[in-house]
Amino acid sequence: MGQTRVRSASDREIERYGVLEEPAGRDLQALVDLAADFFDVPTAAINLITSDEQHQIATAGFEPSICAREDSMCAAVVDEPGSVVVPDASLDARFADNPFVTGVIGSVRYYASAPLVTPRGIPLGRLCVFDDRPRETTPEQRRALTVLAERVMDVLELRLRSREVEQSLDELTRTRDELRRSNDALGHFAGQVSHDLRSPLMVISANAEMLSMEPAVADDPELAEMVREIRDAGSRMSRLITSVLNHAREGGRTRITSVRLGPVFDQAVLDLRPVVSATSAEVAVAELPHVSGDPEMLYAVALNLLGNALKFARSGTPPRVEVGAERRGDFWRVVVSDDGIGIPAEHTHSIFLPYLRLPSRGSRDGEDGHGVGLATVRRIVEAHGGQVGAQANEAGGATVWFELPVVRDDPAEVLAEA
């Protein structure tokens, strides 16, 4: 069995630059020609050294070729940090027995080279000039050789970055196309769901409207109020469906306006009144600010957070839920805190993932839901340019918060900042 070739760091870098698979190009050819002209020698080369071969990727005065690493003059000094100048290679112990010097391959006498080193400090090879007769080198020539070698690396680096940019653009284009297809599919799905939801909702609203005109309901203030709440809830649900549909059709963009969060949470509490009454819950909503947002979407946030807090209450204990807000720079942080069964510390981040249901986290009604409520909250808040978070309370229960941008042109905000 043959031995497995061990790839060196230089091998991997040469492969990353992709220089062995493409033509030299006019830029590299111009540099090697310039090196030969400046030194007034007949031959020059850009040599890349792998673990077993020397590759001449651009040459002056002869055709590029490949030879074994052990035959390469540049390989003998590839790790030298600076330029190497040898007036007569036949008198230098490093090169005297080299086949390029002895006549087996060539009869090189004068040899000078400078390192080709990547920004990461890995040597790739050498830029070299050579002649079949001895020569002397001026300090200006030595400095010029180093400068030309650096320009060779600049060309290789530019080519690499150009390829990476092209690959990134290709990936972005594919991602954009996939996102466009996903948005189209989401819009179609949202349209179908909206249609399916509106049908029974229309029946509920129509029946509520007819029921409100019945004498037995109209003459009973309590019944009339209940029917009115059903009708109003149906209207809000219809607006929410429309908002979700528009959100999906527009690729996740929200329709931002100035929103008073107080009435939004008050309405959510009102719509949760059957749950509040059934559990003897206490829901305290402090003064809440104006924020920038979509009112229908933020209603969904309020409804999910309050519903969650009421759902995961302690058995046999009337739940207490508090809603407050505090200013944090350019954002308002709205906090919903409860005294329920709480959230394990290791799950305070993962609860916002879709379809996650925490183990052994039973709700008051025995139903843990489908794990989409808090994921929906996160998506809506992030679409508004905000963020969400959760933490366990020291005294028990949990706190979930979200941040939304301050309304800059709100007179109350201007007064608060004055």
What per-residue confidence (pLDDT) applies to 416? 41
Residue partners of 221: CB distance under 8 A and separation at least 6? none
**pLDDT value of position 407:** 80
Given pLDDT bands bounded at 50, 70 and 90, which one contains residue 194?
low
What confidence score (pLDDT) does residue 327 get?
94
For residues 54 and 151, membership in a common domain is answered with yes
Tens-place pLDDT, residues 106-146: 999 999 999 999 999 999 999 999 999 999 999 999 999 99
Query: What contacts 51, CB < 8 A, 6 or more positions away?
Result: 5, 6, 7, 8, 10, 11, 69
Q: Are residues 273 and 146 in the same domain?
A: no
203 in any annotated domain: no
pLDDT: is 226 or 182 the higher one? 226
Domain of residue 357 covers: 254-417
230 pLDDT more than 90: no
What pLDDT does 5 receive? 58
Among 121, 137, 165, identify where a domain stops: 165
What total number of domains does the chain contain?
2
What pLDDT score was predicted for residue 415?
A: 37
Residue finishing a domain among 118, 136, 165: 165
What CATH number has the domain bearing residue 54?
Answer: 3.30.450.40
Over the Cα atoms of the chain, what is R_g? 37
Q: Residue range 370-385: average pLDDT? A: 78
Q: pLDDT tens across 321-344, in order?
A: 999 999 999 899 999 999 998 888
Buried (b) or exposed (e) across 339-375, using 16+ Cβ within 10 A?
bbbbbeeebbeebbeeeeebeeeebbeeeeeeeebbb
8 A C-beta contact, residue 83 and residue 145: yes
- Residue 74 pLDDT greater than 70, yes or no: yes
Q: Of 135, 165, 195, which residue constitutes the final position of a domain?
A: 165
Please list the helix, strand and coil fractions of the chain in percent, rounded to the nearest 5, in that order: 50, 20, 30
Out of 176-190, 343-357, 375-389, least confident range: 176-190
Q: What is the mean pLDDT of residues 176-191?
A: 69
CA distance 160 to 77: 26
